[in-house]
Amino acid sequence: MSTTRTSRPLRLGPRSVAALALVSLVGVLAFCWPLFADAGSAVTSHAGDAPWLFAALLPLLVAVVVATIADCGMDAKAVAMLGVLAAVGAALRPLGAGTAGLEPMFFLMVLSGRVLGPGFGFVLGSVTMFASALLTGGVGPWMPFQMLSMGWFTMGAGLLPGSDRPRGRAELLMLSAYGFVAAFAYGTVMNLQGWVLLQSPGSSGISFVPGAPLHENLVRFLAYVLATSLGWDLGRAALTVVLTLTVGGTLLRALRRATRRANFEAQVTFEAPEEPSPSEAPHRTYITYDPK
């Protein structure tokens, strides 16, 4: 029997794909449904649906973990690493929160998702955001939406191509480019959650108008993003790029070394013993007994 240790990301099996597709579908519907609600709908903002989304999100995260365990044998060591990385990410968030969008936790999520895979990355991003909200007192109707957005952000890094091949500067450049674009995407998605709270019927500015045609509200949303959060998202994206290019290589090596020692997805093979050749066969001495 032989065991091969690798630092490959935890692969996505059919159960993991189904669980991630389900939680992503729920997330997309949660973000976008106010755009399609009627003006006379009783609830046309996220203030009332956030508790329901949070209640649905927790069992879905558990389902992703269980599906990953069933598909690739993620064990207690992987869960322990999840807890450690989530704690580190939560501790990093207060270092930059509230300062021009400078949030160092984003670069850690990029590298962790890259090394540990999309399924692991989605759970890590969501749990990290939940833990950081408890740490900073940022619990509110936006929290489940932040958990979903950060889960997608980290999962995307695990879906980047060539996780077994790229190394060195080329890989860091790819991760930096992803972090830059995904930081803007995270901010844009979260803007959609906050923007629908700014309801102003009859307004022709940047406010959300319940029941208005979709294309009109999308134009207002674009104006809202450009007017309110572009600079904030730029600070987050720039810091992610700088940290990835400067300390990303060291952290990638450390994470890959940790996965090798944890022996994630160890490939166990059984080999039949080889038959010795006639020339290598041991010499045998036969003793005969003659009673005469």
Q: DSSP of 188-225, one letter per residue? A: HHHHHHHHTT-B-TT--SSSB-TT--HHHHHHHHHHHH
Residue 135: the pLDDT is 82
**What average pLDDT does the segment 116-141 reach?**
85
Residue 275 is assigned to a structural domain of this protein:
no
- Confidence category of residue 43, pLDDT binned at 50, 70, 90: low
Residue 101 is assigned to a structural domain of this protein:
yes
Q: Is the pLDDT of residue 215 over 80?
A: yes
What is the CATH number for 164? 1.10.1760.20
**What average pLDDT does the segment 154-170 reach?**
82
Residue 287 is assigned to a structural domain of this protein:
no
SS3 274: coil
SS3 264: coil
Residue 269: the pLDDT is 44
Radius of gyration of the chain, Cα coordinates, nearest whole angstrom: 26
Residue 286 is assigned to a structural domain of this protein:
no
Residue 289: the pLDDT is 46
Regarding pTM above 0.95, the answer is no
How many domains are there within the chain? 1
Strands (E), the chain: 2-4, 267-269
Q: Is the pLDDT of residue 15 over 70?
A: yes
Residues 35/217, Cβ–Cβ less than 8 Å: yes
d(CA 190, CA 91): 21
* Cα torsion 233, 151, 14, 164: sign: positive
Residues 22/136, Cβ–Cβ less than 8 Å: no
Residue 284 is assigned to a structural domain of this protein:
no
**What average pLDDT does the segment 240-258 reach?**
91
d(CA 153, CA 106): 9
- Highest mean pLDDT out of 9-23, 157-171, 207-221, 242-256: 242-256
Residue 144 is assigned to a structural domain of this protein:
yes
Encoding tokens for residue 120? Answer: 């692991």
Residue 242: the pLDDT is 95
Other C-beta atoms closer than 10 Å to the C-beta of 162 total 10
Mean pLDDT of all residues belonging to the chain: 78
Residue 52: the pLDDT is 73
Residue 142: the pLDDT is 82
> In Å, what is the CA distance from 59 to each residue of 65, 134, 264?
10, 19, 24
Residue 36: the pLDDT is 80
Residue 213: the pLDDT is 86
Residue 164: the pLDDT is 65
Residue 277 is assigned to a structural domain of this protein:
no
48-73 pLDDT, tens per residue?
666 777 777 778 887 887 777 776 65
d(CA 196, CA 45): 6
210 in the Ramachandran plot: left (φ > 0), alpha (ψ -120 to 50) or beta?
Answer: beta
Residue 62: the pLDDT is 79
Residue 256: the pLDDT is 87
Residue 139: the pLDDT is 78
Q: Is the pLDDT of residue 266 over 70?
A: no
Q: Is the pLDDT of residue 82 over 80?
A: yes
Residue 189: the pLDDT is 92
- What is the domain extent for residue 263? 2-269
Q: Tell me, letter by letter, the H, E, C secondary structure of 12-45.
A: CCHHHHHHHHHHHHHHHHHHHHHHHCCCCCCCCC
Residue 177: the pLDDT is 96
Q: Which candidate, 192, 116, 149, 128, places its Cα nearest to that of 24? A: 149
Residue 281 is assigned to a structural domain of this protein:
no
274-291 pLDDT, tens per residue?
555 555 545 545 444 454
Other C-beta atoms closer than 10 Å to the C-beta of 214 total 10
